[in-house]
Chains A and B, each alone.
Chain A
Amino acid sequence: MLGQLFFSGKKPGTQSFGQLFKLYNKSILKSDKLNRNYSEQGEWDKGFSNHYTLHLKALVDEFETERVSAALSARKKLIWLTPLFVIIPVIGWQITIWEINESDEFQGLGLYFTGLSFAAATWFIKRSVVAYQNSIKDQIFPRILSFIGDFTFSAEVADKVKQFKDIGLLPTYSTETSEDNITGEYKGVKIELFETHLQKWKKRGKNSRLVTVFNGLIINLSMNKKFSGKTLVKQDKGSVGNWFSKNSKKLENVKLEDPRFENSFEVFSSDQIEARYLLTVSFMERLFELAEIFDNAEIQLCFENNHLLMVIPLRTPIFEPGPITEPEDFIDDAQSLLKEMHLIFQIIEILKLNMKLNL
């Protein structure tokens, strides 16, 4: 547990430590940059300005007041605790020197003390911020999603990854932390997506520690029609790497005509024709667009039975409200959420996942 707290990588939903120090700036408490009008950007948010006016605009002032109050509370705590940020490393250093001189075995107690103290202080400062951000997730995200249909949003989820561990896209892991689960249906295709952070115990010398093996988004589409084979779209890792990532003897390498796609991805399938049926030129284009939206993420896919699973590694969490240091008008949240959902809908359209033609 100690190791997990101190060494764990950044899990989805956490904000950077540097963000905390912006709270010193008093201007973060101003609400003068608020924009209460949504201007539509494209096909993906067509009609949303009306939805914004009807369902979100009235909440902007209420949530901005909450934001300012949460930011003020966090700022006060930060200022009061500032001396600790000097004292903690000094004590940590003293413990380290004592350990080196007095103890037979160096265990890094000073480092643990410093890390744990900073973590506790940060947790205490950010308590009000986290509560505010959770209230946005609970109350605002479902209102944004209601624009695209009957979708539910749940910030808390557990044990979601287990069902996908044998598919061959996710690494083996020891612990899972999942959150921000969106479920719903588009043209009869069930959509489920959530963010997850997977960690694995790794031994180093006498100690074990948890290291991050995957951090990102998992999208699972379930439909009426069933794929006859299994098709994996993985990142190209060079000839040797690809051979190891094939994962199963039943899968054959699929060579596609698009050189750009071939450079980025490696396709394995148990059905050469179905793989080509699925990976059309328009699908490849949408895949690149999707990767671009997620900061050129290395997307991987699996088509099997009646599921399309997409695994998207992320550098930063996506289903997070804007920073506490900036006025909240829900516009950025809505834009990113709608753009991502629109691309998922396009994939459903291109692959005609909604049609069951019995061929």
Chain B
Amino acid sequence: MDPSSLIIVIGLVLIFALYLWYAKIIRNKNQVFEALAGIDVQLENRSNLIPNILNIAKKFMEHERDLISSVTELRTRSTADYDSDDAQAVKEHVELASALTSEMGKLMISVEAYPELKSDQTMQQAQLSYNEVETKIAAARRFYNSAVGQLNNSIEIFPGNIVAKYVNVSPMPFFEANEGSKAPVDASSILG
């Protein structure tokens, strides 16, 4: 094989390898979007549950007005539209979701101090549903973080870093659980 043919073959192999890497990055990026959409479905489920919980809580929790308005405000902000292609916007979105989880955790703990509210049947059912949706958010977060891990690896390892710059793909933020969301409310203590 003459040198020029060899260079062409090496060049073709390199282009093919870069294409494979490019395809991998795009596949990983799409999986992150899919995972993010999965989180949003669960966050919306939670958003739909919160007004019901707040309505019941308001009747009994006179001293928790600040907490209730903080939850209401965070709920409104977290349901606002965002650009899922923009890493910074995604970061803010997941941080808001985490903050809402934390505030809701505080609210659920406060319920313990109101025996009447604690024994209210509607509240008990709402809390069970809330715990279920939080578990689903945790599952969606695990999928998202796994997808983000794969994407970030593929665009930070050479030659992925070059390909990523060329196709304008940047690392995505992880969805980290805060302490509040790591400790879901114990439904058995409420039912007990």
Question: Do A and B interact with each other, yes or no?
Answer: yes
Interface residues of A (CB under 8 A from B): 255-257, 272-277, 280, 352, 355, 357-359
Selected A-B contacts with CB under 8 Å, 15 pairs:
A256-B142, A257-B142, A257-B146, A272-B35, A272-B38, A273-B136, A273-B139, A273-B140, A276-B139, A276-B140, A276-B143, A355-B128, A355-B132, A358-B129, A359-B133
* B45 close to A359 (CB less than 8 A): yes
Given the complex of chains A and B, what is the CA–CA distance between A274 and B146 in angstroms?
14
* A255 close to B132 (CB less than 8 A): no
Given the complex of chains A and B, what is the CA–CA distance between A358 and B135 in angstroms?
14
Instruction: Find chain B residues with CB under 8 A from A255 CB.
Output: 146
User: Distance (Å) between the CB of B27 and the closest chain A CB?
Assistant: 12
Starting from the known contacts A256-B142, A359-B45, A359-B129, 20 additional A-B residue pairs (CB-CB under 8 Å) come to: A255-B146, A257-B142, A272-B34, A272-B35, A273-B35, A273-B136, A273-B140, A273-B143, A274-B139, A276-B139, A276-B140, A276-B143, A277-B135, A277-B139, A352-B132, A355-B132, A357-B128, A357-B132, A358-B129, A359-B132
User: Distance (Å) between the CB of B152 and the closest chain A CB?
Assistant: 14
User: Distance (Å) between the CB of A230 and the closest chain B CB?
Assistant: 16
Given the complex of chains A and B, what is the CA–CA distance between A352 and B134 in angstroms?
14
CB-CB nearest in chain B for A358: B129
* A359 close to B35 (CB less than 8 A): no
What's the dominant secondary structure at chain A's contact region?
loop
Instruction: Find chain B residues with CB under 8 A from A280 CB.
Output: 135, 139
Instruction: Find chain A residues with CB under 8 A from B139 CB.
Output: 273-277, 280
CB-CB nearest in chain A for B46: A359
Instruction: Find chain A residues with CB under 8 A from B132 CB.
Output: 352, 355, 357, 359
Instruction: Find chain B residues with CB under 8 A from A359 CB.
Output: 45, 129, 132-133, 136
Instruction: Find chain B residues with CB under 8 A from A276 CB.
Output: 139-140, 142-143
Given the complex of chains A and B, what is the CA–CA distance between A328 and B98 in angstroms?
59
Instruction: Find chain B residues with CB under 8 A from A257 CB.
Output: 142, 146
Given the complex of chains A and B, what is the CA–CA distance between A352 and B140 in angstroms?
18
**Cβ proximity bits B137-152 to A, threshold 8 Å, 1 near / 0 not:** 0011011001000000
Instruction: Find chain A residues with CB under 8 A from B35 CB.
Output: 272-273
Given the complex of chains A and B, what is the CA–CA distance between A257 and B34 in angstroms?
19
* A357 close to B38 (CB less than 8 A): no
* A357 close to B129 (CB less than 8 A): yes
CB-CB nearest in chain A for B125: A357
Instruction: Find chain B residues with CB under 8 A from A277 CB.
Output: 135-136, 139
CB-CB nearest in chain A for B41: A273
* B143 close to A272 (CB less than 8 A): yes
- Most chain-A Cβ atoms within 10 A of its Cβ — which of B34, B128, B146? B146
Instruction: Find chain A residues with CB under 8 A from B45 CB.
Output: 359
Given the complex of chains A and B, what is the CA–CA distance between A275 and B34 in angstroms?
15
* B38 close to A273 (CB less than 8 A): yes
Instruction: Find chain A residues with CB under 8 A from B42 CB.
Output: 273
Instruction: Find chain B residues with CB under 8 A from A355 CB.
Output: 128, 132
